[in-house]
Structure 1
């Protein structure tokens, strides 16, 4: 493990006790709360939405840009865009070819409008499962379902979509079959799903 893109560190489905020990001596890109809670680790960097940093791994330079998310009210979470000169530039739009990693989020308009203006998404890796958090104010959806993921895939023009993070936890209300059913119901997206 050379680097860790950590959408948020306060849930064990993202970072458990054993995994925390793996962060020592590695590049970790995360939120402000995440960095504070992981201190003191010198390799931890904070990125706010649309901020970028560059790291060098195995002789290659990678630019990492944080993306906005909407997860738990009042909590910090982030997504990521990975960019490298080795990924090239899209011939049609002149935008850098990138990998987008959603982190835990529902679909938000800012992603749909800003990602395609700034980047050409070759691969979109999306956390799904339609996780529902039971809050005092009522249930809140905190990760995308298949329909939201299909819409975001279309909106950002992703060439390939990789669904993940939708099983093994009780708060997921949509399993792999449910996710795939909704993704594959969209004719444009169906052929893009891995």
Structure 2
């Protein structure tokens, strides 16, 4: 499924909502750190948000984290107080020089922004190699964003071997902030990605499309076997 020119070892462990570890050749990224237990509530400007599932891992069960991809600092389901503790702890944790050097090689993680909002991260390094058509191999993490046609520009420069995409058509204060299954399928085609890893489709009462609905739309839109479930 992945490009034959991409030989790096990638392991993705979904922890909950948009939180996952992304291990690339022993360097570990953490996406949108949320670790509050089931039953926790958060007050938005107009209503109370409820989470009803425990994360698959607690903070003390995490492997060493080298970098964090944070899509939204002001969304409680992307960063809670426990996640903030982890971020604070990262500032004080020394890293071995060898790991620093390896992380610098992965320093091509950059946010894709539109009108001051983060609409995804592209993770790339020379170690990933180049696709047969000359584009750089990369991994994409959407974070919380709706479908945007201009995200197709990512595929002009990068060959996306794995796309981690937040779903569930979440709404907050009347605004849709993540994609539904059809939008995610469309983005998947725009990115010309090899594999799609769906995230952010459970655990909250402000998610308006359940997992069954998401995957029915995948079936209708055709990502098919390119969808990977962790």
Matching residue of 1:67: 112
Q: 1:78 to 1:106 in 2, by over 3 A?
A: closer
Matching residue of 1:175: 210
Partner secondary structure for residue 143 of structure 2: coil
CA shift, 1:58, in A, is 6.0
Match of 1:130 among 163, 169, 175: 169
Q: 1:57 to 1:84 in 2, by over 3 A?
A: farther
Matching residue of 1:46: none
CA shift, 1:64, in A, is 1.1
CA shift, 1:8, in A, is 1.1
CA contact (8 A) 2:112 2:118 kept: no
Matching residue of 1:120: 159
User: How many corresponding residue pairs?
Assistant: 157
- Segments of structure 1 that go 5 or more residues without pairing to the other structure are 27-40, 44-55
Question: Separation in 2 of the partners of 1:76 and 1:115?
Answer: 16
TM-score normalised by the chain length of structure 1: 0.74
Matching residue of 2:120: 79
Partner secondary structure for residue 161 of structure 1: strand
CA contact (8 A) 2:111 2:118 kept: no
Question: Separation in 2 of the partners of 1:170 and 1:57?
Answer: 40
The higher-RCO structure (CA 8 Å, 6+ apart) is 2
Alignment of 1:100-119 (within 5 A): 100-112=140-152, 114-119=153-158
Matching residue of 1:192: 226
Partner secondary structure for residue 23 of structure 1: helix
- Segments of structure 2 that go 5 or more residues without pairing to the other structure are 1-64, 94-98
CA shift, 1:118, in A, is 1.3
**CA RMSD, 1 decimal:** 2.2
Match of 1:14 among 78, 84, 89: 78
Residues 77-100 of structure 1 deviation map (CA, whole Å, 9 limit, x = unaligned):
342000022221101x11111000
